[in-house]
Protein backbone atom coordinates (compact mmCIF):
# COMPACT_ATOMS: atom_id res chain seq x y z
CA UNK A 1 0.00 0.00 0.00
CA UNK A 2 1.41 3.44 -0.94
CA UNK A 3 1.75 6.31 1.52
CA UNK A 4 -1.32 8.12 0.26
CA UNK A 5 -3.61 5.08 0.66
CA UNK A 6 -2.11 4.21 4.06
CA UNK A 7 -2.70 7.72 5.39
CA UNK A 8 -6.22 7.62 4.03
CA UNK A 9 -7.06 4.36 5.82
CA UNK A 10 -5.54 5.49 9.14
CA UNK A 11 -7.34 8.84 9.03
CA UNK A 12 -10.71 7.44 8.07
CA UNK A 13 -10.51 4.61 10.61
CA UNK A 14 -10.31 7.26 13.31
CA UNK A 15 -13.19 9.27 11.89
CA UNK A 16 -15.66 6.41 11.43
CA UNK A 17 -15.17 5.12 14.96
CA UNK A 18 -16.98 8.06 16.52
CA UNK A 19 -20.71 7.71 15.97
CA UNK A 20 -22.70 4.57 15.17
CA UNK A 21 -26.31 5.48 15.68
CA UNK A 22 -28.98 7.68 14.16
CA UNK A 23 -30.85 10.03 16.41
CA UNK A 24 -33.01 13.10 16.11
CA UNK A 25 -31.42 16.36 17.23
CA UNK A 26 -34.17 18.65 18.47
CA UNK A 27 -34.41 22.15 19.81
CA UNK A 28 -34.07 22.43 23.59
CA UNK A 29 -32.34 19.39 25.06
CA UNK A 30 -33.86 18.27 28.35
CA UNK A 31 -32.04 17.09 31.48
CA UNK A 32 -33.23 13.90 33.25
CA UNK A 33 -35.18 10.93 31.97
CA UNK A 34 -38.92 10.39 32.26
CA UNK A 35 -38.53 7.16 34.24
CA UNK A 36 -36.81 9.04 37.08
CA UNK A 37 -39.79 11.38 37.49
CA UNK A 38 -42.69 9.79 39.42
CA UNK A 39 -46.29 10.29 38.28
CA UNK A 40 -49.17 10.74 40.69
CA UNK A 41 -52.67 12.27 40.59
CA UNK A 42 -52.29 15.98 39.79
CA UNK A 43 -48.72 15.39 38.61
CA UNK A 44 -48.99 13.11 35.59
CA UNK A 45 -48.40 15.25 32.51
CA UNK A 46 -46.05 14.00 29.83
CA UNK A 47 -42.96 16.14 29.40
CA UNK A 48 -43.35 18.16 26.20
CA UNK A 49 -41.33 20.88 24.52
CA UNK A 50 -43.14 24.20 24.50
CA UNK A 51 -42.77 27.10 22.09
CA UNK A 52 -42.88 30.54 23.69
CA UNK A 53 -43.53 33.14 21.00
CA UNK A 54 -43.03 36.78 22.03
CA UNK A 55 -44.43 40.09 20.83
CA UNK A 56 -42.85 43.43 21.74
CA UNK A 57 -45.14 46.45 21.39
CA UNK A 58 -47.43 44.36 19.20
CA UNK A 59 -44.63 43.27 16.82
CA UNK A 60 -43.70 39.60 16.63
CA UNK A 61 -40.27 39.02 18.11
CA UNK A 62 -38.09 36.10 19.26
CA UNK A 63 -39.28 32.55 19.92
CA UNK A 64 -37.94 30.46 22.79
CA UNK A 65 -38.23 26.77 23.63
CA UNK A 66 -39.08 25.44 27.07
CA UNK A 67 -40.35 22.25 28.68
CA UNK A 68 -43.71 21.74 30.35
CA UNK A 69 -44.00 20.51 33.95
CA UNK A 70 -45.48 17.27 35.24
CA UNK A 71 -48.15 19.28 37.02
CA UNK A 72 -50.62 21.92 35.87
CA UNK A 73 -52.87 22.20 32.84
CA UNK A 74 -51.76 20.53 29.60
CA UNK A 75 -50.50 23.01 27.00
CA UNK A 76 -52.45 23.33 23.74
CA UNK A 77 -50.82 21.81 20.66
CA UNK A 78 -52.12 24.17 17.96
CA UNK A 79 -50.94 27.74 17.64
CA UNK A 80 -54.40 28.99 16.64
CA UNK A 81 -55.82 27.74 19.96
CA UNK A 82 -53.13 29.46 22.06
CA UNK A 83 -54.04 32.78 23.68
CA UNK A 84 -51.69 35.75 23.59
CA UNK A 85 -51.15 37.07 27.14
CA UNK A 86 -49.19 39.93 28.69
CA UNK A 87 -45.89 38.94 30.34
CA UNK A 88 -44.94 40.38 33.73
CA UNK A 89 -41.92 39.94 36.00
CA UNK A 90 -42.71 38.51 39.43
CA UNK A 91 -42.21 40.49 42.60
CA UNK A 92 -40.60 38.81 44.51
CA UNK A 93 -38.55 37.29 41.72
CA UNK A 94 -38.62 33.73 43.06
CA UNK A 95 -42.42 33.76 43.63
CA UNK A 96 -41.94 31.76 46.85
CA UNK A 97 -44.51 34.05 48.48
CA UNK A 98 -47.67 35.67 47.14
CA UNK A 99 -46.72 38.08 44.29
CA UNK A 100 -47.22 41.79 44.91
CA UNK A 101 -48.08 42.28 41.21
CA UNK A 102 -51.69 42.87 40.19
CA UNK A 103 -52.31 40.19 37.60
CA UNK A 104 -55.21 39.96 35.18
CA UNK A 105 -54.81 36.59 33.51
CA UNK A 106 -51.18 37.52 32.74
CA UNK A 107 -48.21 35.18 32.29
CA UNK A 108 -45.79 35.62 35.18
CA UNK A 109 -42.03 35.05 34.87
CA UNK A 110 -40.12 33.87 37.96
CA UNK A 111 -36.61 32.68 38.86
CA UNK A 112 -35.82 29.12 39.83
CA UNK A 113 -34.79 28.38 43.42
CA UNK A 114 -35.57 28.92 47.13
CA UNK A 115 -38.76 26.81 47.09
CA UNK A 116 -40.53 23.98 45.27
CA UNK A 117 -41.79 24.30 41.71
CA UNK A 118 -45.30 23.52 42.90
CA UNK A 119 -45.10 26.29 45.53
CA UNK A 120 -44.32 28.83 42.81
CA UNK A 121 -47.19 27.51 40.69
CA UNK A 122 -49.70 27.67 43.55
CA UNK A 123 -48.67 31.26 44.40
CA UNK A 124 -48.91 32.32 40.74
CA UNK A 125 -52.32 30.68 40.41
CA UNK A 126 -53.57 32.40 43.58
CA UNK A 127 -52.45 35.76 42.11
CA UNK A 128 -54.66 35.17 39.03
CA UNK A 129 -51.84 34.32 36.60
CA UNK A 130 -52.78 32.44 33.44
CA UNK A 131 -49.42 30.67 33.13
CA UNK A 132 -46.04 30.45 34.83
CA UNK A 133 -42.60 30.72 33.18
CA UNK A 134 -39.74 29.54 35.43
CA UNK A 135 -36.26 30.62 34.33
CA UNK A 136 -33.59 28.02 34.95
CA UNK A 137 -30.21 28.95 36.43
CA UNK A 138 -28.42 26.94 33.72
CA UNK A 139 -28.46 26.80 29.92
CA UNK A 140 -30.17 23.40 29.88
CA UNK A 141 -33.81 22.63 30.51
CA UNK A 142 -34.84 20.79 33.67
CA UNK A 143 -37.87 18.54 34.02
CA UNK A 144 -40.08 19.89 36.76
CA UNK A 145 -41.58 17.11 38.89
CA UNK A 146 -43.40 16.71 42.18
CA UNK A 147 -41.91 15.39 45.40
CA UNK A 148 -43.27 11.98 46.47
CA UNK A 149 -44.85 13.42 49.64
CA UNK A 150 -46.53 16.47 48.01
CA UNK A 151 -50.30 16.78 48.35
CA UNK A 152 -51.10 20.38 47.30
CA UNK A 153 -51.33 19.62 43.58
CA UNK A 154 -54.58 21.30 42.60
CA UNK A 155 -52.82 23.41 39.94
CA UNK A 156 -54.81 24.57 36.91
CA UNK A 157 -52.32 26.79 35.07
CA UNK A 158 -49.57 25.58 32.69
CA UNK A 159 -46.02 25.78 33.99
CA UNK A 160 -43.03 25.98 31.64
CA UNK A 161 -39.30 26.12 32.28
CA UNK A 162 -37.05 28.19 30.02
CA UNK A 163 -33.24 28.11 29.83
CA UNK A 164 -31.13 30.84 31.41
CA UNK A 165 -30.31 32.67 28.17
CA UNK A 166 -34.02 32.90 27.26
CA UNK A 167 -34.69 34.46 30.66
CA UNK A 168 -32.00 37.08 30.11
CA UNK A 169 -33.53 38.06 26.77
CA UNK A 170 -37.06 38.27 28.17
CA UNK A 171 -35.90 40.36 31.12
CA UNK A 172 -34.24 42.85 28.75
CA UNK A 173 -37.52 43.16 26.86
CA UNK A 174 -39.45 43.79 30.08
CA UNK A 175 -36.98 46.29 31.57
CA UNK A 176 -36.92 48.42 28.41
CA UNK A 177 -40.40 49.78 29.19
CA UNK A 178 -41.84 47.71 26.35
CA UNK A 179 -45.17 45.91 26.31
CA UNK A 180 -44.33 42.21 26.05
CA UNK A 181 -46.84 39.44 25.41
CA UNK A 182 -46.31 35.71 24.93
CA UNK A 183 -48.09 32.74 23.43
CA UNK A 184 -47.52 29.17 24.68
CA UNK A 185 -48.18 26.06 22.60
CA UNK A 186 -46.66 22.63 22.05
CA UNK A 187 -47.00 21.41 18.44
CA UNK A 188 -46.88 17.67 17.88
CA UNK A 189 -44.22 16.05 15.78
CA UNK A 190 -45.24 14.25 12.57
CA UNK A 191 -45.14 10.47 12.82
CA UNK A 192 -42.68 10.29 9.91
CA UNK A 193 -40.63 13.13 8.45
CA UNK A 194 -39.55 13.10 4.82
CA UNK A 195 -35.97 13.68 6.02
CA UNK A 196 -35.85 10.12 7.35
CA UNK A 197 -36.92 8.77 3.96
CA UNK A 198 -34.14 10.70 2.19
CA UNK A 199 -31.60 9.67 4.82
CA UNK A 200 -32.59 6.02 4.33
CA UNK A 201 -32.17 6.37 0.56
CA UNK A 202 -28.83 8.11 1.08
CA UNK A 203 -27.46 5.32 3.31
CA UNK A 204 -28.70 2.50 1.05
CA UNK A 205 -27.50 4.29 -2.10
CA UNK A 206 -24.04 4.86 -0.62
CA UNK A 207 -23.59 1.16 0.13
CA UNK A 208 -24.98 0.23 -3.30
CA UNK A 209 -22.49 2.44 -5.17
CA UNK A 210 -19.56 1.43 -2.99
CA UNK A 211 -20.37 -2.29 -3.36
CA UNK A 212 -20.47 -2.17 -7.15
CA UNK A 213 -17.22 -0.24 -7.31
CA UNK A 214 -15.55 -2.68 -4.92
CA UNK A 215 -16.86 -5.74 -6.82
CA UNK A 216 -15.85 -4.30 -10.19
CA UNK A 217 -12.30 -3.66 -8.93
CA UNK A 218 -12.11 -7.18 -7.48
CA UNK A 219 -13.25 -8.72 -10.75
CA UNK A 220 -10.74 -6.68 -12.76
CA UNK A 221 -8.00 -7.82 -10.38
CA UNK A 222 -9.09 -11.46 -10.78
CA UNK A 223 -9.06 -11.16 -14.58
CA UNK A 224 -5.58 -9.61 -14.47
CA UNK A 225 -4.44 -12.39 -12.13
CA UNK A 226 -5.67 -15.12 -14.48
CA UNK A 227 -4.15 -13.39 -17.49
CA UNK A 228 -0.73 -13.23 -15.88
CA UNK A 229 -0.90 -16.91 -14.99
CA UNK A 230 -1.86 -17.88 -18.54
CA UNK A 231 1.04 -15.88 -19.97
CA UNK A 232 3.60 -17.49 -17.65
CA UNK A 233 3.55 -21.26 -18.17
CA UNK A 234 7.25 -21.82 -17.64
CA UNK A 235 7.87 -19.32 -14.87
CA UNK A 236 5.05 -18.79 -12.39
CA UNK A 237 5.35 -15.37 -10.75
CA UNK A 238 4.21 -14.51 -7.26
CA UNK A 239 0.81 -13.04 -8.08
CA UNK A 240 -0.73 -13.17 -4.65
CA UNK A 241 -0.75 -9.39 -4.49
CA UNK A 242 -1.59 -8.62 -8.11
CA UNK A 243 -4.31 -6.01 -8.31
CA UNK A 244 -4.37 -5.56 -4.52
CA UNK A 245 -2.28 -2.40 -4.32
CA UNK A 246 -3.79 0.11 -1.94
CA UNK A 247 -6.23 -2.43 -0.43
CA UNK A 248 -6.43 -3.35 3.23
CA UNK A 249 -7.93 -6.70 4.28
CA UNK A 250 -9.23 -6.76 7.84
CA UNK A 251 -8.40 -9.81 9.96
CA UNK A 252 -10.10 -11.10 13.11
CA UNK A 253 -7.62 -9.43 15.43
CA UNK A 254 -7.89 -6.03 13.77
CA UNK A 255 -11.70 -6.32 13.85
CA UNK A 256 -11.62 -6.66 17.64
CA UNK A 257 -8.96 -3.97 18.04
CA UNK A 258 -11.02 -1.63 15.89
CA UNK A 259 -13.86 -1.65 18.42
CA UNK A 260 -11.42 -1.24 21.33
CA UNK A 261 -9.81 1.70 19.55
CA UNK A 262 -13.23 3.18 18.77
CA UNK A 263 -14.25 2.95 22.43
CA UNK A 264 -11.06 4.67 23.61
CA UNK A 265 -11.51 7.39 21.00
CA UNK A 266 -15.15 7.88 22.03
CA UNK A 267 -14.19 8.31 25.69
CA UNK A 268 -11.52 10.82 24.67
CA UNK A 269 -14.13 12.74 22.69
CA UNK A 270 -16.54 12.67 25.62
CA UNK A 271 -13.94 13.96 28.07
CA UNK A 272 -12.30 16.50 25.76
CA UNK A 273 -15.43 17.70 23.99
CA UNK A 274 -14.85 21.43 23.69
CA UNK A 275 -14.80 24.09 21.00
CA UNK A 276 -11.12 23.60 20.12
CA UNK A 277 -11.49 19.82 19.92
CA UNK A 278 -14.49 20.03 17.60
CA UNK A 279 -12.46 22.39 15.41
CA UNK A 280 -9.70 19.77 15.27
CA UNK A 281 -12.24 17.13 14.22
CA UNK A 282 -13.52 19.46 11.51
CA UNK A 283 -9.98 19.71 10.13
CA UNK A 284 -9.57 15.91 10.19
CA UNK A 285 -12.95 15.46 8.53
CA UNK A 286 -12.00 17.93 5.80
CA UNK A 287 -8.74 16.07 5.11
CA UNK A 288 -10.58 12.75 4.89
CA UNK A 289 -13.35 14.35 2.82
CA UNK A 290 -10.83 15.78 0.36
CA UNK A 291 -9.21 12.36 -0.06
CA UNK A 292 -12.57 10.67 -0.54
CA UNK A 293 -13.97 13.25 -2.95
CA UNK A 294 -10.74 13.26 -4.95
CA UNK A 295 -10.69 9.46 -5.22
CA UNK A 296 -14.33 9.29 -6.36
CA UNK A 297 -13.97 12.10 -8.91
CA UNK A 298 -10.77 10.66 -10.39
CA UNK A 299 -12.36 7.21 -10.73
CA UNK A 300 -15.41 8.76 -12.41
CA UNK A 301 -13.61 11.20 -14.72
CA UNK A 302 -10.94 8.71 -15.80
CA UNK A 303 -13.51 7.08 -18.10
CA UNK A 304 -13.60 10.25 -20.22
CA UNK A 305 -10.06 11.55 -19.66
CA UNK A 306 -8.00 8.36 -19.97
CA UNK A 307 -4.90 10.06 -21.31
CA UNK A 308 -4.33 12.41 -18.38
CA UNK A 309 -5.54 9.75 -15.96
CA UNK A 310 -2.78 7.41 -17.16
CA UNK A 311 -0.06 10.09 -17.24
CA UNK A 312 1.88 10.43 -14.01
CA UNK A 313 4.30 12.79 -12.32
CA UNK A 314 6.45 12.02 -9.28
CA UNK A 315 5.78 14.06 -6.14
CA UNK A 316 7.88 13.74 -2.96
CA UNK A 317 6.25 11.57 -0.26
CA UNK A 318 3.27 10.76 -2.50
CA UNK A 319 5.17 9.07 -5.31
CA UNK A 320 3.56 8.87 -8.76
CA UNK A 321 0.40 10.98 -9.02
CA UNK A 322 -1.71 11.26 -12.16
CA UNK A 323 -2.30 14.59 -13.87
CA UNK A 324 -6.03 14.04 -13.44
CA UNK A 325 -5.55 13.83 -9.68
CA UNK A 326 -3.59 17.08 -9.73
CA UNK A 327 -6.37 18.74 -11.74
CA UNK A 328 -9.14 17.55 -9.41
CA UNK A 329 -7.37 18.21 -6.08
CA UNK A 330 -7.74 22.03 -6.01
CA UNK A 331 -11.51 21.75 -6.47
CA UNK A 332 -11.77 19.16 -3.68
CA UNK A 333 -9.67 21.25 -1.30
CA UNK A 334 -11.66 24.40 -2.10
CA UNK A 335 -14.94 22.54 -1.58
CA UNK A 336 -13.87 21.29 1.86
CA UNK A 337 -12.52 24.71 2.91
CA UNK A 338 -15.72 26.50 1.89
CA UNK A 339 -17.78 23.96 3.83
CA UNK A 340 -15.57 24.35 6.94
CA UNK A 341 -15.85 28.15 6.86
CA UNK A 342 -19.62 28.21 6.31
CA UNK A 343 -20.57 24.99 8.11
CA UNK A 344 -22.94 26.81 10.47
CA UNK A 345 -25.22 28.17 7.75
CA UNK A 346 -28.55 26.45 7.11
CA UNK A 347 -27.55 24.67 3.88
CA UNK A 348 -24.09 23.49 5.03
CA UNK A 349 -25.47 19.97 5.59
CA UNK A 350 -25.34 19.45 1.80
CA UNK A 351 -21.56 19.90 1.70
CA UNK A 352 -21.11 17.75 4.81
CA UNK A 353 -23.12 14.92 3.24
CA UNK A 354 -21.20 15.11 -0.05
CA UNK A 355 -17.85 14.90 1.74
CA UNK A 356 -19.12 12.16 4.06
CA UNK A 357 -20.57 9.98 1.29
CA UNK A 358 -17.38 10.29 -0.79
CA UNK A 359 -15.33 9.35 2.28
CA UNK A 360 -17.46 6.27 3.05
CA UNK A 361 -17.41 5.06 -0.56
CA UNK A 362 -13.64 5.44 -0.69
CA UNK A 363 -13.12 3.49 2.55
CA UNK A 364 -15.38 0.67 1.34
CA UNK A 365 -13.23 0.57 -1.79
CA UNK A 366 -9.96 0.40 0.18
CA UNK A 367 -10.91 -1.71 3.23
CA UNK A 368 -12.18 -5.24 2.58
CA UNK A 369 -13.66 -8.00 4.71
CA UNK A 370 -11.91 -11.13 3.32
CA UNK A 371 -14.44 -13.68 4.58
CA UNK A 372 -17.62 -14.12 6.58
CA UNK A 373 -15.72 -15.05 9.74
CA UNK A 374 -14.05 -11.63 9.93
CA UNK A 375 -17.33 -9.93 9.00
CA UNK A 376 -19.13 -11.75 11.81
CA UNK A 377 -16.51 -10.81 14.40
CA UNK A 378 -16.46 -7.18 13.27
CA UNK A 379 -20.24 -6.70 13.24
CA UNK A 380 -20.73 -8.62 16.49
CA UNK A 381 -18.20 -6.40 18.27
CA UNK A 382 -19.77 -3.30 16.73
CA UNK A 383 -23.19 -4.56 17.85
CA UNK A 384 -22.00 -4.75 21.48
CA UNK A 385 -20.14 -1.45 21.13
CA UNK A 386 -23.29 0.35 19.98
CA UNK A 387 -25.49 -1.05 22.76
CA UNK A 388 -22.92 -0.35 25.46
CA UNK A 389 -22.22 3.28 24.56
CA UNK A 390 -25.86 4.20 23.89
CA UNK A 391 -27.57 2.36 26.77
CA UNK A 392 -25.15 0.85 29.30
CA UNK A 393 -22.96 3.97 29.49
CA UNK A 394 -25.88 5.76 31.18
CA UNK A 395 -25.25 3.65 34.29
CA UNK A 396 -21.58 4.62 34.41
CA UNK A 397 -21.63 8.25 33.22
CA UNK A 398 -25.26 9.19 34.10
CA UNK A 399 -25.87 10.01 30.43
CA UNK A 400 -25.54 8.28 27.08
CA UNK A 401 -21.95 8.92 25.99
CA UNK A 402 -22.70 8.16 22.35
CA UNK A 403 -25.62 10.58 22.11
CA UNK A 404 -23.83 13.34 24.02
CA UNK A 405 -20.87 13.12 21.64
CA UNK A 406 -23.07 12.96 18.53
CA UNK A 407 -25.05 16.04 19.52
CA UNK A 408 -22.05 17.97 20.81
CA UNK A 409 -23.80 18.79 24.09
CA UNK A 410 -20.54 19.79 25.79
CA UNK A 411 -18.97 21.64 22.87
CA UNK A 412 -21.46 24.46 22.44
CA UNK A 413 -21.75 23.52 18.75
CA UNK A 414 -23.95 21.29 16.61
CA UNK A 415 -21.88 18.17 17.27
CA UNK A 416 -19.13 16.33 15.48
CA UNK A 417 -19.08 16.42 11.66
CA UNK A 418 -18.71 12.65 11.12
CA UNK A 419 -22.41 12.28 10.39
CA UNK A 420 -24.77 12.36 7.47
CA UNK A 421 -27.70 14.61 8.23
CA UNK A 422 -30.81 16.10 6.65
CA UNK A 423 -33.00 18.82 8.18
CA UNK A 424 -36.41 17.66 9.39
CA UNK A 425 -38.50 19.50 6.83
CA UNK A 426 -42.00 19.13 8.28
CA UNK A 427 -41.08 18.97 11.95
CA UNK A 428 -42.25 22.13 13.76
CA UNK A 429 -39.31 21.73 16.13
CA UNK A 430 -36.75 21.64 13.35
CA UNK A 431 -33.49 19.85 14.00
CA UNK A 432 -31.88 17.12 11.91
CA UNK A 433 -32.24 13.43 11.27
CA UNK A 434 -28.73 12.01 11.45
CA UNK A 435 -26.88 8.75 10.93
CA UNK A 436 -23.33 7.95 12.00
CA UNK A 437 -20.69 6.83 9.51
CA UNK A 438 -20.32 3.52 11.34
CA UNK A 439 -23.97 2.61 10.70
CA UNK A 440 -23.27 2.73 6.96
CA UNK A 441 -19.65 1.69 6.79
CA UNK A 442 -19.58 -1.38 9.04
CA UNK A 443 -22.58 -3.18 7.49
CA UNK A 444 -21.39 -1.89 4.12
CA UNK A 445 -18.18 -3.92 4.46
CA UNK A 446 -20.25 -7.11 4.65
CA UNK A 447 -22.60 -6.08 1.83
CA UNK A 448 -19.67 -5.21 -0.45
CA UNK A 449 -18.10 -8.58 0.37
CA UNK A 450 -21.32 -10.32 -0.71
CA UNK A 451 -21.26 -8.69 -4.16
CA UNK A 452 -17.56 -9.46 -4.67
CA UNK A 453 -18.27 -13.10 -3.87
CA UNK A 454 -21.29 -13.20 -6.22
CA UNK A 455 -19.33 -11.79 -9.14
CA UNK A 456 -16.31 -14.04 -8.62
CA UNK A 457 -18.65 -17.06 -8.32
CA UNK A 458 -20.62 -15.93 -11.42
CA UNK A 459 -23.87 -16.00 -9.44
CA UNK A 460 -26.99 -14.27 -10.72
CA UNK A 461 -28.66 -11.60 -8.59
CA UNK A 462 -31.37 -14.01 -7.47
CA UNK A 463 -28.99 -16.88 -6.71
CA UNK A 464 -26.41 -14.64 -5.06
CA UNK A 465 -26.16 -12.97 -1.67
CA UNK A 466 -25.91 -9.28 -2.53
CA UNK A 467 -29.58 -8.54 -3.16
CA UNK A 468 -30.59 -10.27 0.06
CA UNK A 469 -27.87 -8.45 2.01
CA UNK A 470 -29.05 -5.09 0.61
CA UNK A 471 -32.68 -5.86 1.46
CA UNK A 472 -31.67 -6.93 4.97
CA UNK A 473 -29.69 -3.72 5.51
CA UNK A 474 -32.55 -1.58 4.23
CA UNK A 475 -35.06 -3.34 6.47
CA UNK A 476 -32.75 -3.09 9.49
CA UNK A 477 -32.34 0.66 8.98
CA UNK A 478 -36.09 1.03 8.44
CA UNK A 479 -36.81 -0.75 11.73
CA UNK A 480 -34.32 1.61 13.38
CA UNK A 481 -36.33 4.64 12.29
CA UNK A 482 -39.58 3.01 13.36
CA UNK A 483 -38.06 2.44 16.81
CA UNK A 484 -36.75 6.01 16.81
CA UNK A 485 -40.25 7.39 16.26
CA UNK A 486 -41.80 5.03 18.80
CA UNK A 487 -39.25 6.23 21.35
CA UNK A 488 -40.27 9.85 20.67
CA UNK A 489 -36.99 10.82 19.07
CA UNK A 490 -34.66 9.35 21.70
CA UNK A 491 -31.41 8.14 20.14
CA UNK A 492 -31.34 4.51 19.05
CA UNK A 493 -28.28 2.31 18.33
CA UNK A 494 -28.83 1.50 14.66
CA UNK A 495 -26.55 -1.55 14.73
CA UNK A 496 -28.87 -3.09 17.33
CA UNK A 497 -31.31 -3.64 14.44
CA UNK A 498 -29.04 -3.65 11.37
CA UNK A 499 -26.58 -6.34 12.49
CA UNK A 500 -29.18 -9.09 13.19
CA UNK A 501 -30.84 -8.39 9.84
CA UNK A 502 -27.70 -8.34 7.66
CA UNK A 503 -25.55 -10.91 9.45
CA UNK A 504 -28.48 -13.21 10.24
CA UNK A 505 -29.61 -13.19 6.61
CA UNK A 506 -26.12 -13.92 5.32
CA UNK A 507 -25.47 -16.80 7.75
CA UNK A 508 -28.91 -18.35 7.18
CA UNK A 509 -28.65 -18.23 3.38
CA UNK A 510 -25.07 -19.52 3.40
CA UNK A 511 -26.04 -22.50 5.54
CA UNK A 512 -29.13 -23.26 3.47
CA UNK A 513 -27.22 -23.13 0.15
CA UNK A 514 -24.22 -25.10 1.40
CA UNK A 515 -21.76 -22.22 0.87
CA UNK A 516 -21.18 -21.41 4.53
CA UNK A 517 -17.80 -23.19 4.79
CA UNK A 518 -16.36 -21.36 1.77
CA UNK A 519 -17.84 -18.02 2.85
CA UNK A 520 -16.56 -18.49 6.40
CA UNK A 521 -12.98 -19.50 5.53
CA UNK A 522 -11.68 -18.39 2.13
CA UNK A 523 -14.40 -15.91 1.18
CA UNK A 524 -13.82 -16.68 -2.50
CA UNK A 525 -15.24 -19.43 -4.71
CA UNK A 526 -12.92 -22.27 -5.57
CA UNK A 527 -11.49 -21.72 -9.04
CA UNK A 528 -9.22 -24.11 -10.94
CA UNK A 529 -5.77 -22.74 -11.65
CA UNK A 530 -5.42 -21.51 -15.26
CA UNK A 531 -2.15 -23.48 -15.54
CA UNK A 532 -3.97 -26.71 -14.77
CA UNK A 533 -6.66 -25.88 -17.33
CA UNK A 534 -4.01 -25.12 -19.95
CA UNK A 535 -2.02 -28.29 -19.18
CA UNK A 536 -5.18 -30.43 -19.46
CA UNK A 537 -6.00 -28.70 -22.75
CA UNK A 538 -2.47 -29.36 -24.10
CA UNK A 539 -2.58 -33.03 -23.09
CA UNK A 540 -5.96 -33.48 -24.76
CA UNK A 541 -4.67 -31.86 -27.96
CA UNK A 542 -1.61 -34.18 -27.99
CA UNK A 543 -3.82 -37.22 -27.45
CA UNK A 544 -6.03 -36.16 -30.34
CA UNK A 545 -3.01 -35.85 -32.64
CA UNK A 546 -1.91 -39.36 -31.75
Do 76 and 203 lie in one domain? The reply is: no
Q: Are residues 83 and 52 in the same domain?
A: yes
Tell me how far apart the alpha carbons of residues 4 and 1 are, in angstroms, rounded to a whole number.
8
Q: CA angle, 170 as apex, 167 and 173 as ends, to 5°?
A: 150
pLDDT at 438 (0 to 100) = 87
Identify whether residues 455 and 415 lie together within a single domain.
yes
**164 lies in some domain:** yes
Q: Is residue 150 part of a domain?
A: yes
CA–CA distance from 360 to each of 15, 127, 216, 289, 386 (Å)?
10, 60, 17, 9, 19
**CA 206, 208, 211, 215: dihedral to nearest 10 degrees?**
-140
Q: What is the DSSP string of 34-56?
A: GGGS--BTTB-PPP-EEEEEEEE
Residue 390 lies in a domain: yes
Residue 80 DSSP code: G
- Residue 65 domain flag: yes
Q: Which residues are catalytic?
A: 386, 439
379 and 464 part of one domain? yes
Question: What pLDDT digit, counting tens, does each position of 26-81 carry?
Answer: 333 343 444 555 666 778 888 888 999 999 988 888 899 899 888 888 888 888 88
**Residue 501 lies inside a defined structural domain of this protein:** yes
Q: Are residues 170 and 209 in the same domain?
A: no
- Indicate if 412 and 264 belong to the same structural domain: yes
Residues 43 and 93 in one domain: yes
pLDDT score for 32 = 40
HSE toward the beta carbon, residue 40, CA cutoff 13 A: 13
Q: What is the CATH number of the domain that holds 122?
A: 3.50.30.30
pLDDT score of 540: 54
Same domain for 379 and 403?
A: yes
User: Does residue 431 share a domain with residue 464?
Assistant: yes
H runs (alpha helix) in 342-437:
348-366, 372-387, 393-397, 401-407
pTM of the model: 0.80
Domain of 207, in residue numbers: 192-227+245-273+338-525
Whether residue 211 contacts residue 466, with contact meaning beta carbons closer than 8 Å, is answered with yes
In a domain, 426, yes or no: yes
Asked if residue 3 belongs to a domain, the reply is no
- One domain, residues 350 and 441: yes
What is the secondary structure of 102-149 as a DSSP string? Answer: --SS-EEEEES-SS-HHHHHHHHHHTT-SEEEEE-SSSSEE-----TT
The answer as to whether 12 is a domain residue is no
- Do both 79 and 214 map to the same domain? no
Distances (CA, A) of 11 to 7, 231, 288, 405: 6, 39, 7, 19
Query: Structurally, how many domains does the chain consist of?
Result: 2
Three-class SS string for 200-248? Answer: HHHHHHHHHHHHHHHHHHHHHHHHHHHHHHHCCCCCCCCCCCCCCCCCE
**How is the chain split among helix, strand and coil, in percent rounded to 5?**
50, 15, 35
Instruction: Cite the DSSP H helix spans in 388-436.
Output: 393-397, 401-407
User: In the prediction, which pLDDT does 8 show?
Assistant: 52
Predicted local confidence at residue 530, as pLDDT: 53
**Which residues of the chain fall below pLDDT 50?**
1-2, 5-6, 9, 12, 17-34, 233-234, 236-244, 534
Cis status, amide bond into 161, omega within 30 of 0: no
In this structure, the answer to whether residues 179 and 211 fall within a common structural domain is: no
Amino acid sequence: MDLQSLCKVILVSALISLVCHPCSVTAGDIVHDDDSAPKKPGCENDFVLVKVQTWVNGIEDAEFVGVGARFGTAIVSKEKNANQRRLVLSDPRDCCSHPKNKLDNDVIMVDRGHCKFTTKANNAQAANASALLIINNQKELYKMVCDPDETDLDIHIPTVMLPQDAGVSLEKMLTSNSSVSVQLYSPKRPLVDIAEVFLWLMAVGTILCASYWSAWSAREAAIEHDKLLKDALDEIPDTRHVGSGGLLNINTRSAVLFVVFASCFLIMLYKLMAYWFVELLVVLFCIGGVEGLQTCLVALLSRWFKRIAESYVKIPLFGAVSYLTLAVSPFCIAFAVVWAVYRNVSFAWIGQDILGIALIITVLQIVHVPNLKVGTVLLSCAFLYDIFWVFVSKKLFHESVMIVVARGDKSGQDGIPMLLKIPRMFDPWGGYSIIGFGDILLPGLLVAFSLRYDWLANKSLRAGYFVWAMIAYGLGLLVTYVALNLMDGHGQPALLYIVPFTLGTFLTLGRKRGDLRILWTSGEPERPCPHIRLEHQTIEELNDEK
